[in-house]
Structure 1
Amino acid sequence: MDRKAAKELLHVQGWLERVDEIIQRGQDAYLADDLLQEAGDSLMMKLGEAANRISRRDVLAPEGVEWALAVANRNFIHQYDEIDRDLTWLTLSRDLPAWRASLEPLFAEAAATIL
């Protein structure tokens, strides 16, 4: 793995850790707090940007992860007036934790590359 891809993956790992912080507060807190919603949006946009860059570096996504879906989600989030908060909560609470688990081997490889 090249260093740029490794750095991108380590950013993804950090952002997914932040997603976990939002999830730990619970759905009710998320739906009631505009700031948490904006944080979730920002994280999903960052993940989409990183997924785009990672895929261009020919890093194969592990099973259960599709770079193109993260990019599509980033584009969806840009439509601020049409955001369905129940849907963004599902992405944050169900999809992204599954991605984090699937990406763990790549995160380990990225960390080894940077060292």
Structure 2
Amino acid sequence: MDLKGAKELLHIQAWLVRTDEIVRRGKDAYLADALLQEAGDSLMMKLGEAANRLSRLGVLAPDGVEWALAVANRNFIIHQYDEINRELTWLTLASDLPAWGASLQRLFDEAAAMLPPDA
């Protein structure tokens, strides 16, 4: 992994922390709050873009993570924003992304070791 890949991974790690913050508020709060929904969309779009960059850099996704699915999700949110199903975005935030965090932990650790703490 090069420095660009390491930085992308650390961005992903930070964004997954933010998705956890949304999820901790609960499904009812998420479904009732358009701002939380937009925040979740923004994070999923960023994750999709970072996944695209990592794929182009040749960083292999660990088991349980598919870069292409994140990219497809990003594209859907951007281009079919009028068709977003909030039950599905909640499942992505509450189930899929925490599983990603666990699967990516080894890569997060490697990325952190490559960069100084203030990078």
TM-score, scaled to structure 2: 0.95
CA displacement, residues 6-26 of structure 1 (integer Å, 9 cap, x when unaligned)? 000000000000000000000
Residue matched to 1:31: 31
2:87 partner amino acid: D
- Give the aligned residue type for 2:113: A
How many residues are paired up?
115
TM-score, normalised via structure 1 length: 0.99
Aligned to 1:49: 49
Alpha-carbon distance, 1:76 to partner: 1.1
The within-5 A match list for 1:1-115 is 1-78=1-78, 79-115=80-116
Once residues 85 and 76 of structure 2 are traced to their aligned partners in structure 1, the CA distance between those partners, rounded to angstroms, is 10
Q: Which amino acid aligns with 2:55?
A: S
Percent of paired sites with the same residue: 77
Gaps of 5+ in 1: none
Could you list the runs of 5+ residues in structure 2 that have no partner in the other structure? none
List 4+ stretches of structure 1 deviating above 2 A.
none
CA distance in structure 2 between the partners assigned to 1:48 and 1:12 by the alignment: 10
